[in-house]
Amino acid sequence: MKKNVYHLLHPATLIILNFLMATAFLVLGVTFSQADEGHGGRLNLVTAIELVAKQNIPAVVHIEVTERKDVDNPFLPFEKDPFFRRYFNLPKKMPKKFKQEIVGLGSGVIIDTQGHILTNNHLVAGANKIQVVMANGQSLSGTSVTLVGTDAKTDLAVIQIPVTDSLPHVTFGDSDRAEVGQWVVAIGHPRGLDQTVTHGIISAKHRRGITDPSSYQDFLQTDAAINPGNSGGPLLNLYGEVIGINTAIASESGGSEGIGFAIPSNMAVHVSKELIARGKVERGWVGVSIQDLTPELPQKLGLTSSKGVYIAGVFQDSPADRAGLKKGDVIIAYQGKDIPDAGTFRNDVATALIGQEVKISVLREGKKQDFLVQVGSQEEQKRILSASLKERFGITVRRPTTKEIDKYSLESDQGVVIVEVAPKSPFVKTGFTIGDLILQVDDEWIDDPEELAAVLGALPSRDKVSILAIDHKSGKTGYLSMVLP
């Protein structure tokens, strides 16, 4: 049998050859480094992560929040039990609820010289106290930290600290140019371990419905180690540009399992600008109920592709209605860009300027047609959707009050309350009364009146839906089945 010449070499020679090959690999790593169109020069892959860390760690902050919440008294069921009263030394009359302090840890990035810090909504929303610890150890809290604005739909928030002469800040890159397989670096404070740097690749793009199917999400997925405490920290490319804001992990253990998610930088930049300018995000709206193309629809509609967005309904007097869009149209392009699914279209419209005229291309009866639609405001959306709820379903709803949120143990953006219901409406026939809460319709969680109108409006007549609701009289939660008019 013929032997490989390499195996016949002296062991000392093998050691020398291995050393030379390793050195050559490093040299080649420099020579054939990652290049990206639009960036000058080549990357040195041997030192790239080191340089990204040195450049950005000073602009990454540690955020600690404290929230005081009313929680149910666990001893209340034993209030009249003499044994428990004596053993635990319980008072004669116990409160139904008591205040509990909940501490949360996360990260944030300084985004400009004015001291604005971008972080996650779920970290700072509702906090009674926010403490910011800079990379140099400086700690700021109390009146030194201001909550500028929050946006639950994208899980983003902006806080602000006082300006100093040498305030470091990050640089944002174009997340649309990020590709699957591209190397990325995450910086944050996982489990309170300050200035932790991890690396990985972009595992996938356009992940939606991870935390809330109804929100404006379009996550980058990464296998870079992201743990609790990384929330709000940056995901960077090897040029040191922020291409994402870390926000969630998919893990049953609560730790990193190689599946993490980041909000794309393009969305984060848009939201942060809106929050800084207005304290809230003003989203565009055109007035259509949309859905992804199911496997059956393309064949039914005579389409050759499964990419596009099916218009399930057009709200009367909405911008889309005035422009001429109709139920049954299939949206294939927005502003000349191909639209693969409903999430992409909704996010694109949401970031459009109010009053802007946009071109929407549709397929109608197999022919392509272009329509110019003037993007409407959220105020117009509320008015039209509220009218559609009352006209078709016979109900008027509102957001729950703080008292109702505490009473029913709801999240701050969860559910709507029925404030008016017509005598012969389908809701009355199903058993709903004024004061009841609607939490979910089929698989869609309801977080505001507009969401309820959009979800119900997209469903055809005689459809049977399952509604998760709370009976305001008994406080019990259950599902009710209703046939739509």
- pLDDT tens per residue across span 62-107: 999 998 776 766 666 666 667 666 666 766 666 766 677 788 899 9
Distance from CA of residue 160 to its chain's centroid? 21
Architecture of domain 379-483: Roll (2.30)
Q: What is the enclosing helix (H) or strand (E) of 397?
A: strand 395-398
Tokens of 384: 């039209």
What lies within 8 Å, CB to CB, of 265 at 6+ separation is: 172, 173, 174, 175, 241, 242, 243, 244, 245
Whether the CB-CB separation of 370 and 391 falls below 8 Å is answered with: no
Given the DSSP bridges, would you call strands 241-249 and 171-172 parallel, antiparallel or unpaired?
parallel
Whether the predicted pLDDT of 355 surpasses 80? yes
Is residue 287 within 8 Å of residue 314, measured between CB atoms? yes
Structure-model confidence comparison of residues 344 and 34, the more confident one:
344
pTM beyond 0.85? no
Task: Assess contact for 232 and 109: CB atoms under 8 A.
Answer: yes
- pLDDT greater than 50 at residue 8: no
Q: Measured between alpha carbons, how far is 425 from 393 in angstroms, rounded to an integer?
A: 6
> Long-range contacts for 422-426 (Cβ within 8 Å, ≥24 apart)?
422/390, 422/394, 422/395, 424/394, 425/393, 425/394, 425/395, 426/393, 426/394, 426/482, 426/483, 426/484, 426/485
Integer Cα distance of 139 and 62 in angstroms: 9
Contact 194, 187 (CB under 8 A): no
pLDDT at 155: 92
Choosing from 62, 107, 116, 155, which is the catalytic residue?
Answer: 155
Catalytic residue (choose from 107, 175, 215, 231): 231
- Active-site option among 122, 189, 199, 472: 122
Q: Is 155 a catalytic residue?
A: yes
Beta carbons of 392 and 457 less than 8 angstroms apart: yes
Average pLDDT over residues 120-139: 92
pLDDT per residue over 258-308, tens digit each?
Answer: 889 999 999 999 999 999 999 999 999 999 988 888 887 877 777 778 889
Q: Which of 246-250, 255-259, 281-285, 355-359: highest mean pLDDT?
A: 355-359
Does 208 score more than 80 pLDDT?
Answer: no
| CATH classification number, 44-281, choose in 3.40.640.10, 1.10.1740.10, 2.40.10.120, 3.20.20.80 | 2.40.10.120
122 noted as active-site residue: yes
For the cut 80, the answer to whether the pLDDT of residue 388 exceeds it is yes
- The span from the CA of 182 to the CA of 239, in Å, is 12
Burial of 108 (0-12, 13-18, 19+ CB in 10 A): buried
Mean pLDDT of the chain: 85
* CATH code given to domain 288-376: 2.30.42.10
